[in-house]
Structure 1
């Protein structure tokens, strides 16, 4: 039972005196932060603002029950909201009833995919997405999110909404139409948010700009002078909704659902791990997938949209003293109170304020330092980041990350197909065998070649290895012995084993060159035993060390 409901273990050891105070404080602060953020992210997703509040109730409660992180703050986030808009807006007009129905179906699909991955223990799959891909995608997505809010910031109903370059071009061409009061509210809100984040940390910045923005609209009558406001926000709790299961729509939304499932989980799991490492407990990838999957299924049935764990809110939740998932339950309860009694307060909230909240929240996702670091440490990882970044900006969200993943896998396959092979020589000062290209004093042997292969052997890299061995044989025409150091080989597939066996037999019969393996790891020794190598080649086919091989082969080591 605890595998599915981790909160049972938390409540069993819950300390009302020590834990409740921190949970109450954190729950209140996150709720204050989440109300404007949830509405802003719903707007980013092309949905009515109230759906951001719906997504901050039932999904949060479900995660608190089924998630494995004690401090992760689940709810609407900018990245997922952009993916929702990008994936669904091509099939229906944002904000329409058809669009909302598609978003509910998408949430159900995301939840189903994540839940299935958790049940099937496929959390490890996400580790195949390289950090360069995630960083490049996140940085590009942050820029796309920022520019998608320009229409609310400048007060122009832009025709372009997804492509950064088209948005820049349209704003430049229509610069004369910029609504200055709207721009003033947006820029002013950004400045206030930055100032409060740096100087007045005890008061949530989003709450401050919401209050100031509404006061400005009311006192200056700005809503009657072209400033767009939220207007009516429906009161009451979300009703039960049943997503329409249309096979053709499911197939059309599948790429977006898969992207959100993986990106949402990666973002959430990364933050959960950071907090868990500080608090000395473990979060489980498959348990997190189950918790997030059930949360998104809950969002689908209660008028929400896809959710995940957010970086900024989770950090605030943790810093505010959250000790257990009870903090999230308190947050959800406070959002319910807002839905029941206070939605009318947001009538005069300017859309430019919500745009400013989004802009300030996502700008820190643009990670220039990571790009410089990867480029400096390993150039190919920097190239992967840059390619993903450019592809996301040019091709769009789904194609961008697909291109990044495809390129990173291609790089992995290409690199593994050309493993590092080092010729070894004896270094007298160290009493060890080392790479002759790195140690000038490494001493080699006249008719014996010692090579170390630093990679598993499999069908894709055996051709490269055989070509390398052939080149070495040509270089040393009087060669009698080849010693292969397998200390870096932890696996060999059947094809590679057959090809290596054929090469050893060919060199023995055609060129009278004996091949010996040394430092063979246990799993590889087991494979050699199953393949009957001792019967085929004799006990001298492998030795525990290079020295023993040289002695057994009667090689003069002086």
Structure 2
């Protein structure tokens, strides 16, 4: 067995020697831009996940460094994301009170289990498994998650205190029962924050609009204490680097969290690889999917020991990384270091952020998740995939999010199997010959369909043009043998024409080449 090379264990050694003072300075500047964007987003995602705000910063430090150094993509930036955060919240909130020490411990344990699952997939080179989570499932889940997140932030925006709910429908019902308790000043402050952010995007598209709007909202509260002094602020925390924690591997907790951890792990991989592939196409960079999967897993295995919750690719930060001209993954490392410095020295600034302002910022993030153009394109291209998207979206709104992911995957697989179980067959009749051209695999799912077609054939020579058949399994072989024997009893014959050598070899294995009832022609 060949021993792994040092570069396979430490893949950053492949590109690190090529860095220069110029590229180092450029990546540091890009990292600063990324950190400015990451600060408000990370805090917002921590609140979505039910975590104290500092844990959003922690998730944007160690996991980001590990994923940047061990990954394959030069531009992918990881960290807490909206979709992952809402799944973490809905998975763990039934087990512990959000924000409590037990809740945090369970979130970190779930992150570790998800990371271990990801790393094992990459180690066994099973990174292609994430392809079973189709784009339509991701699109439907993302749309649903945006709605769920937005509904979850409405109480903060309205200034009312109500318990969190497991599903979007129950959240709507709960909010409607407390609308009369809404605080118009909280609503006004949130509206002001939204207006500032939208104005910044209009006048200065590349500005950190979310950060500017949060500062503006905080200054408004400070300037008008008699009017806005009662508005709830983000919980204060002590400024420090990510603390080391000891994970509690209680068997009962592990078993309870395992289904959600696998769902989160798959969702994180699909998101990260989709973003990485998109960026690699634009930058003409080679992407090693299995290395990227291992890097994602490693970041989520190590991150929880440094108080980092589950990390995945961030499209906004990754796209900014590419557009700003990052030359290497060091841009992500610099971004994480700068976030760490803010966590250490700027923590007191966070406790001045009003919750309605943060809720307004999260609503803007949710709006950015709505891919209307993608929905229209999916409708034009494939109605079955569009239906999968709708089913996933509906499941996201009426079920718990990790269950919705599984429902979407099952729906996608159902339509795929339905399509492949009925391969395209074209017919020609030429005298006593009936020609059937099969375009697809002859496997257990398609056997019944193909057998019915063969049985309806009336030619003395039933010829299957198998040039486009790449795969045949035992059930397919048994079906062909059975039909060949039946036709032979009727003084007719079953012929495979232009079959590929591997298909012929598989068919002849059942009874040997001499006794095989199927006839082969070139």
Q: TM-score range by the shorter chain?
A: over 0.9
Aligned partner (choices 459, 463, 466) of residue 444 of structure 2: 459
Residue 144 of structure 2 corresponds to 140
Change (3 A) 1:223 1:91: farther
**Deviation at residue 211 of structure 1 after TM alignment:** 1.4
Secondary structure of the 2:162 match is coil
**Deviation at residue 299 of structure 1 after TM alignment:** 2.0
TM-score normalised by L of structure 2: 0.95
Structure with the larger RCO, 1 or 2 (CA within 8 Å, 6+ apart): 2
Show CA shifts across 1:467-511 (max 9, x none). 1111233xxxxx3211110012111112321221121122122x2
How many pairs does the alignment contain? 517
Partners of 1:195 and 1:3 in 2: CA distance: 47
TM-score normalised by L of structure 1: 0.89
Change (3 A) 1:222 1:39: farther
Q: Given the alignment of the two structures, is residue 7 of structure 1 paired with residue 12 of structure 2, yes or no?
A: yes
**Deviation at residue 537 of structure 1 after TM alignment:** 5.7
Secondary structure of the 1:515 match is strand
Residue 523 of structure 1 corresponds to 502
Residue 273 of structure 1 corresponds to 277
Show CA shifts across 1:148-172 (max 9, x none). 1111111111234343233333333
Q: What is the correspondence of 1:497-512 to structure 2 with a 5 Å cutoff?
A: 497-509=477-489, 511-512=490-491
Partners of 1:202 and 1:468 in 2: CA distance: 61
Residue 433 of structure 1 corresponds to none
Residue 3 of structure 2 corresponds to none
Change (3 A) 1:411 1:202: closer
Secondary structure of the 2:285 match is coil
Show CA shifts across 1:258-310 (max 9, x none). 11101011111111111112222222222112111121122211112111110
Matched-pair contact (CA < 8 Å) for 1:273–1:282: no
Residue 34 of structure 2 corresponds to 30
Q: What is the correspondence of 1:260-339 to structure 2 with a 5 Å cutoff?
A: 260-339=264-343
**Deviation at residue 78 of structure 1 after TM alignment:** 0.7
Q: Given the alignment of the two structures, is residue 483 of structure 1 paired with residue 463 of structure 2, yes or no?
A: yes
Aligned partner (choices 465, 473, 493) of residue 514 of structure 1: 493
Q: Given the alignment of the two structures, is residue 255 of structure 1 paired with residue 234 of structure 2, yes or no?
A: no
Show CA shifts across 1:172-198 (max 9, x none). 333222112211222222232233223
Matched-pair contact (CA < 8 Å) for 1:516–1:542: yes
Partners of 1:4 and 1:283 in 2: CA distance: 17
Matched-pair contact (CA < 8 Å) for 1:216–1:222: no
**Deviation at residue 224 of structure 1 after TM alignment:** 6.3
Residue 88 of structure 1 corresponds to 92
Partners of 1:519 and 1:253 in 2: CA distance: 52
Which segments of 5 or more consecutive residues in structure 1 lack a partner in the other structure?
Answer: 425-443, 474-478, 545-558
Matched-pair contact (CA < 8 Å) for 2:133–2:270: no
Matched-pair contact (CA < 8 Å) for 1:59–1:75: yes
Residue 430 of structure 1 corresponds to none
**Deviation at residue 226 of structure 1 after TM alignment:** 2.4
Aligned partner (choices 240, 249, 271) of residue 244 of structure 2: 240
Partners of 1:49 and 1:214 in 2: CA distance: 16
Larger radius of gyration: 1
Change (3 A) 1:322 1:222: farther
Aligned partner (choices 398, 402, 410) of residue 398 of structure 1: 402
Residue 381 of structure 1 corresponds to 385
Partners of 1:195 and 1:519 in 2: CA distance: 66
CA RMSD between the two structures: 1.9
Matched-pair contact (CA < 8 Å) for 1:26–1:318: no
Residue 441 of structure 1 corresponds to none
Which segments of 5 or more consecutive residues in structure 2 lack a partner in the other structure?
Answer: 1-5
Secondary structure of the 1:460 match is helix
Q: Given the alignment of the two structures, is residue 187 of structure 1 paired with residue 191 of structure 2, yes or no?
A: yes
Matched-pair contact (CA < 8 Å) for 1:25–1:321: no
Residue 42 of structure 1 corresponds to 46
